[in-house]
Amino acid sequence: MNPDNASGPAADIASEAQTLSERLSDLAAQAAQLAESGGHAGGGSDFMFLLTVFVLSCFIGYYVVWSVTPALHSPLMAVTNAISSVIVVGALIASGPADFSQSAVFGFFAVVLASINIFGGFIVTQRMLGMFKKKS
Amino acid sequence: MSGGFSAFAYLVASVCFIMALRGLSSPTTARRGNLFGIAAMTIAVFTTLTLPAITGLSLLWIIIAVGIGGTIGTLVALRIVMTALPQLIAAFHSLVGLAAVLVAAAAFYAPEAFGIGTVGHIHAGSVIEMSLGVAIGAITFTGSIIAFAKLQGLVSGKPLIFSGQHMLNLALGILLLVLIIVLMVAQSPVIFWAIIVLSLALGFLIILPIGGADMPVVVSMLNSYSGWAAAGIGFTLANPVLIVVGALVGSSGAILSYIMCKAMNRSFFSVILGGFGGEVAGPAGGADMGDKTIKQGAAADAAFIMDQASSVIIVPGYGMAVAQAQHVLREMVDLLKEKGVEVRYAIHPVAGRMPGHMNVLLAEAAVPYDEVLELDEINRDFSATDVAFVIGANDITNPAAKTDKSSPIYGMPILNVEDAGTVLFIKRSLASGYAGVDNELFYRDNTMMLLDDAKKMCENIVKALEQS
């Protein structure tokens, strides 16, 4: 193919591509705006959803914990301590971005601390529970 | 947090977390419950790792972080002696608190990663949730450190009180709320850090005035706080599993605090306001102590009395933990059982320094859990029992709680050891208990005081029993 002949259509295509990309970025901006406002509008109901989960979980916690035998209150504290380290989920997301940032550093240390708790908490609970034996 | 898969996996994790607590309703199902907890945590972590926010390079850092934390946690948990359990739990709580602060800080500096807005333009709701998470986390952190120091004996267990303390705390609390509102409007890092510093100071000041024997309440309360902190962060991240667990842990700690307060007949607020015990309390007794006499016995006397008895109830307290006397106590009980004596244990809810402390120590000494009974289960049986053997406990047996309205422990449910035929009291000295109240039981005719270290006394009783 002759490069001279091709340069004309190529320029056409390029300019067309440019207008297309401009329109696309416009659309993208609009979509982002929509998503933003949608997110805001949905923000209320999202919060209500989370609040529902929270309140119902408090009730579950109430009934489940009252059924725990007093003899096992120490293991209960140890295991609740271990599971409250599920906060590691937030820490993992914080250390998610590959590039170095303040956020990632905070995340890194949060993962270390939460891991101490997870391993330590579950192991010490298992040790305690292992000692509880019935009359042989 | 979109995606049907991760949402479903988080749901499974939440259910498993609930099952973990449910298992603790009986010692036979408890270990399976703990495995549910481990499974739930594994699911939650791996599900999070599959989220698009986690990339290859950061995965390496995460593995390093988990490796470091996991190693430390494992070593500590395997090496800790059971008597040091309360301070270990307090130390663990402080870590959850600090982790919550760090996560909130991460979210504040990189809100995009968490989908809560952009730097300086975080949604107002998220700011509130985040501030609450960070404030509770920071209070938990310093509060737990003080609790740890008190339990470990690094700081005096006596309540530290200064005038204007409550006003100062109140003022700091109000200032904290104001700062949170300011942060919503002006999202500057200075205010964010001011909230953290203020909360750290508050945690320190709240726990400092609370005395050593109120530690069961404090440890439960901090347990509760660590849960609420996790829930706060869960709202920020719109993550249901964090909210579920936070609510479970929060209500668990709150219920334990309630049980402990009730077992001391004190309101939650009076515990939190602190200052109980030490020098301030103790209007009863004291003055008329001089003209009362005690009957002091030796190990051989105690051995003889129990040898002749047909039933013995053992009442352990914090003194047993301090002296590490649980193993030799079990030896003593084994000898008594060989001689045909029926032996059981009675546990007061606030015996020791954390809920269930005595049960764990006795379990460690291989005492079968069906011989260990709670206050309600056994209190009626004291009147039909020959010997009550009180080892390292005091206030929880003091009849003044039932009779003396002026006593600071009035109304507290006690173990009715005075109904038993003979009461044997192992104590290091005749000093009053934590509440600063003299125990009239010491001067009764059917009481014999065994003044020595709990472990030494038990060892001597064992020797005497072996010889008889």
pLDDT attached to residue B285: 41
Considering the domain architecture, whether residues B255 and B336 belong to the same structural domain is answered as: no
Note the Cα B297 to chain centre separation in Å.
34
Minimum mean pLDDT range among A40-54, B41-55, B411-425: A40-54
Cβ burial of B244 (10 Å; 0-12, 13-18, 19+) is: buried
Predicted TM-score of the model (pTM): 0.84
Backbone angles phi, psi at B429, to 5 degrees: -150, 180
Backbone angles phi, psi at B239, to 5 degrees: -110, 110
Q: Is the ipTM of this complex over 0.85?
A: yes
- A77:B220 CB<8 A: yes
Residue B361 near residue A125 (C-beta atoms within 8 A):
no
pLDDT attached to residue A85: 92
- Which residue is closest to B57 within chain A, CA to CA? A98
**Residue B379's closest CA among B313, B460, B456?**
B313
DSSP bridge partners of B118: B121
pLDDT band at B284 (very low <50, low <70, confident <90, very high): very low
Tokens 């069961």 correspond to what residue?
A: B216
| A49, A66, A84: best to mutate for the B interface, most B CBs within 10 A | A84
Considering the domain architecture, whether residues B269 and B303 belong to the same structural domain is answered as: no
Summary mean pLDDT of chain B: 86
Within B115-188, where are the H helices?
A: 124-152, 165-185
- A70:B259 CB<8 A: yes
Considering the domain architecture, whether residues B265 and B308 belong to the same structural domain is answered as: no
Considering the domain architecture, whether residues B229 and B325 belong to the same structural domain is answered as: no
Give pLDDT tens digits for A53-110.
999 999 999 999 999 999 999 999 999 999 999 999 988 888 776 666 788 888 899 9
- Which residue is closest to A66 within chain B, CA to CA? B255
CA distance A27 to chain B (A): 21
pLDDT attached to residue A126: 94
| B14, B57, B102, B257: best to mutate for the A interface, most A CBs within 10 A | B102
Strands B311-316 and B387-391, bridge-based pairing: parallel
- B110:A102 CB<8 A: yes
CATH code, B348: 3.40.50.1220
Q: What share of chain B is helix, strand, coil (3-state, %, to 5)?
A: 65, 10, 25
Both tokens assigned to A77: 């504290």
Considering the domain architecture, whether residues B461 and B363 belong to the same structural domain is answered as: yes
Considering the domain architecture, whether residues B318 and B186 belong to the same structural domain is answered as: no
Contacts of residue A14, Cβ cutoff 8 Å, sequence gap at least 6: none
pLDDT band at A5 (very low <50, low <70, confident <90, very high): low
Which of A47, A57, A81 faces B96 most closely, judged by CB atoms? A81
Percent of chain B whose predicted confidence (pLDDT) is above 90: 46
Q: Is residue B196 part of a domain?
A: yes
Q: Is residue B152 part of a domain?
A: yes
Both tokens assigned to A31: 């979509």
For the residues B137-160, what does the mean pLDDT come to? 86
Which of B74, B226, B244 faces A120 most closely, judged by CB atoms? B74
Interface size A-B, in CB pairs within 8 Å, comes to 384
CA distance B14 to chain A (A): 10
Q: Is residue B20 part of a domain?
A: no
pLDDT attached to residue A67: 92
Considering the domain architecture, whether residues B123 and B268 belong to the same structural domain is answered as: yes
pLDDT attached to residue A37: 47
Note the Cα B165 to chain centre separation in Å.
24
CA distance B39 to chain A (A): 11
Q: Is residue B181 part of a domain?
A: yes
pLDDT band at A33 (very low <50, low <70, confident <90, very high): low
Q: Which of B1-5, B74-78, B295-299 has the highest mean pLDDT?
A: B74-78
Domain containing B354: what range? 299-467
Within B23-55, where are the H helices?
A: 27-49
Both tokens assigned to B66: 């988990």
- A113:B93 CB<8 A: no
Give pLDDT tens digits for B171-215.
998 999 999 888 888 888 899 999 999 999 999 888 888 877 788
Tokens 């945690």 correspond to what residue?
A: B203
Minimum mean pLDDT range among B16-30, B256-270, B283-297, B336-350: B283-297
Which one-letter amino acid corresponds to residue B114? F
> Residue B28 CB: number of other CB atoms within 10 A?
11
Considering the domain architecture, whether residues B142 and B181 belong to the same structural domain is answered as: yes
Residue B361 sits at the vertex; the CA angle it makes with B359 and B363, to the nearest 5 degrees, is 65
Q: Is residue B18 part of a domain?
A: no
**Residue B232's closest CA among B95, B101, B42, B117?**
B101
For the residues B294-305, what does the mean pLDDT come to? 87
- B125:A79 CB<8 A: no
Q: Report the distance separating Cα B293 and Cα B382, nearest Å.
A: 24
With the C-alpha atoms ordered B421, B403, B434, B217, is the resulting torsion angle positive or negative? positive
Q: Report the distance separating Cα A107 and Cα A101, nearest Å.
A: 10
- A74:B24 CB<8 A: no
Considering the domain architecture, whether residues B327 and B251 belong to the same structural domain is answered as: no
- A84:B96 CB<8 A: yes
Q: Is residue B73 part of a domain?
A: no
Considering the domain architecture, whether residues B411 and B458 belong to the same structural domain is answered as: yes
Give pLDDT tens digits for B78-121.
999 888 899 999 999 999 999 999 999 988 888 887 778 877 78
**Residue B71's closest CA among A92, A106, A120?**
A120
CA distance B284 to chain A (A): 32
- Which residue is closest to B238 within chain A, CA to CA? A50
Residue B245 near residue B14 (C-beta atoms within 8 A):
yes
- Which residue is closest to B358 within chain A, CA to CA? A71
Q: Is residue B104 part of a domain?
A: yes
- Which residue is closest to B71 within chain A, CA to CA? A116
Both tokens assigned to B112: 């995009």
Residue B260 near residue A91 (C-beta atoms within 8 A):
no
CA distance B419 to chain A (A): 24
pLDDT attached to residue A97: 66
- Choosing from B273, B291, B311, the residue where a domain stops is B273
Backbone angles phi, psi at B388, to 5 degrees: -105, 125
| A49, A83, A88: best to mutate for the B interface, most B CBs within 10 A | A83
- A106:B109 CB<8 A: yes
Q: Is residue B218 part of a domain?
A: yes
- Which residue is closest to B38 within chain A, CA to CA? A122
User: How many domains does the structure of chain B reveal?
Assistant: 2
Considering the domain architecture, whether residues B260 and B377 belong to the same structural domain is answered as: no
| A49, A80, A128: best to mutate for the B interface, most B CBs within 10 A | A80
Q: Report the distance separating Cα B68 and Cα B247, nearest Å.
A: 28
pLDDT attached to residue B1: 45
Tokens 């293991």 correspond to what residue?
A: A75
Positions of B annotated as catalytic residues are 395
Which of A62, A110, A120 faces B251 most closely, judged by CB atoms? A62
Considering the domain architecture, whether residues B307 and B166 belong to the same structural domain is answered as: no
